[in-house]
Amino acid sequence: MSILIFLSSGLFLGWSVGANDMGNVFGTAVGSKMVRFKVAAVVASIFIVLGCFTSGGGATLTLGRLGSVNEIGGSFIVALAAAIAVFWMSRLNLPVSTSQSIVGSLIGWNFFSGSITDYDSLMKIVSSWMFAPVVSGVVAVFIYFLVKRLLNRIKIHILYLDFYNRFGLIVIGAFGAYSLGANNIANVMGVFVPVAPFRPINTYIGTISGSEQLFILGGIAMAVGVFTYSARLMRTVGNNIIPLTPVTALVVVFSSSTVLFLFSSQNLERILATHGLPTIPLVPISSAQAVVGAIIGIGLYQGGGSMNLKLLGKIASGWVTAPVLACVISFVSLFIIQNVFNQAVYKPVRFSMSAAVERRLVSEGITFAAMEQFIGKEFRNAIEFKKALISSGTELDESDLSRVVELSELRYLIVNTDIIEFEISQGWFTPEQTATLKKLNGRNFKYSWELRDELEAMSPDWKLKKDTPEGRHINRNIISKLDYIYKKFWVIR
């Protein structure tokens, strides 16, 4: 029961995503009166769940690096703060970005817990917010140009054209719903993945991991949001920025859906890397920005005279307000839950350099003059430790500073395979990985990297592979297992 209570905020956020963001997928179709709302809702619900289940992992990993919430009470508040921000914007009929809301909420948790925000991941996500609408606009203009040329050359009877448009909007809407689920499930359930309370389940279609179970639940919540609250938002996006014809509606849906797919497909990333092409970062992007970018692109291509600039300004203000609002709500709520209701919202993580950390840093070529004075000192959180390093006069760059902090994180681990016996029996770990863990049974480790080094030295099944497309796929699997056993073997002191 307590697990369901804590997950309720994620389900609420999923509901908010379905209510808010489905307007960005089927809004043009419903707004142009080419597809009935009930048809759009049924198609969207089915394909959202499929997208969440089959392709939800890629963007979730990037979001997890931005801020890894390590207590389920904290996950509850982070998701709730983002959901409140999205719901508030929805009440104002503004198609805000759920991606921006969850990022703002995560940063609020980082501030409260004293965790360092991974600015590389943050910049990757923020840059995608600026890049995605531009790409969507360019794709929309290109497709609109091709479609118009095609229609001018091929004379199609108006009744057949109407049928093709309706059918196309449903098919492309299904693709858009799938892409929305694949990309935005990271926003809905990503903060719960590090503290996922579910064990893997064996089924006829294979093993469903705890993360995948979270994704399915989030997808169902999104589907409920589509049915119960998305109709008004569909009409706001669908026809108010510029007047949409059936053709422009079709182009907008396809363009924005393609952009969502590009930023969430691990298979596409692997194919591009295999052929030596630049890969697209797997990050949760704003479906609102993608669809609005597509509409603006077509509007500008048509001369820009019919664009509702006042509404665009209102929508843009919502994109700025939502993450700030989510960050404030998150920080304040965490304080109240911890200090008024005595609920744990984060596990305290301390930092201390030791001789072992010093040797590891030197082996990686990282040294600084004041290193010796930090040996044996303990710091309450990452921010305090980083400030002390900077104030000591060290000239380390940002990446080296982050590495010092990362290696100095105290994680008192005791290997105990009994507490992961279910996962072992279900075959989640390979026989070689299991045998290696059992050899280390009862061993203590002060830092998580010490356990990882020991596992790599004892078995190639725990060793990360070269940075190739196939290697990245294997490495993701190994890292997810390492993160899981770090959580299971962690002894709070």
Most confident range (mean pLDDT) of 91-100, 146-155, 326-335 is: 326-335
pLDDT surpasses 90 at 449: yes
Confidence of residue 428 (pLDDT cuts 50, 70, 90): confident
Integer distance in angstroms from the first to the last C-alpha of the chain? Answer: 27
3-state secondary structure of 377: coil
426 versus 46: the higher-pLDDT residue is 46
More confidently predicted of 346 and 28: 346
DSSP 283-351: ----HHHHHHHHHHHHHHHTTSTT--HHHHHHHHHHHHHHHHHHHHHHHHHHHHHHHTS----S----E
State which of 11-20, 240-249, 457-466 shows the largest mean pLDDT. 457-466
Q: What is the pLDDT of residue 229?
A: 79
Residue 20 has pLDDT above 90, yes or no: no
- 5 contact partners, CB below 8 Å, separation of at least 6: 76
Lowest mean pLDDT among 57-66, 388-397, 478-487: 57-66
User: With 80 as the cut, is the pLDDT of residue 96 above it?
Assistant: no
Which DSSP helix (H) or strand (E) runs through 13?
helix 2-21
**Residues 6 or more apart whose Cβ sits within 8 Å of residue 354:** 375, 376, 408, 446
Q: Pick the more confident residue, 95 or 345.
A: 345
Q: What is the pTM of this model?
A: 0.79
pLDDT at 214 over 90: no
Q: What is the pLDDT of residue 335?
A: 94
**Residues 357-382: tens digit of each pLDDT:** 999 999 999 998 889 899 999 999 99
- DSSP letter at 34 equals S
The overall average pLDDT reported for the chain is 84
Residue 107, pLDDT above cutoff 80: yes
Percent of the chain residues topping a pLDDT of 70 = 89
Which pLDDT band, with edges at 50, 70 and 90, does 13 fall under?
confident
pLDDT band at residue 58 under the 50/70/90 scheme: low
| 105 pLDDT above the threshold of 80 | yes
pLDDT at residue 232 greater than cutoff 80: no
Q: Where are the beta strands (DSSP E) in 120-272?
A: 201-203, 206-208
Burial of 138 (0-12, 13-18, 19+ CB in 10 A): middle
Mean pLDDT computed over 150-165: 82
Q: Would you place residue 307 in the very low, low, confident or very high pLDDT band (cuts 50, 70, 90)?
A: low
Q: How far is Cα 50 from Cα 456, in angstroms, rounded to an integer? A: 36
Which pLDDT band holds residue 404 (cuts at 50, 70, 90)?
A: very high
Residue 250: the pLDDT is 81
Confidence of residue 409 (pLDDT cuts 50, 70, 90): very high
Residue 235 has a pLDDT of: 59
Residue 197 — very low, low, confident or very high, per pLDDT cuts 50/70/90?
Answer: low
Q: In this model, does residue 109 exceed pLDDT 60? A: yes
What SS3 state is found at 313?
A: helix
- What pLDDT score was predicted for residue 53? 86
Q: Is the pLDDT of residue 435 over 90?
A: yes
- What is the pLDDT, as a whole number, of residue 61? 66
pLDDT of residue 243: 65
Joined together, the tokens standing for residue 402 give 């982050």
- What digits encode the pLDDT tens for the residues 260-296? 888 887 777 777 777 777 778 778 787 777 888 888 8
| For range 217-236, the mean pLDDT | 82
Q: What pLDDT does residue 93 have?
A: 66
Tokens of 266: 């691990």
pLDDT value at position 270? 74
In which band, very low, low, confident or very high, does the pLDDT at 433 lie, cut at 50, 70 and 90?
Answer: very high
Give percent of the chain above pLDDT 90. 29
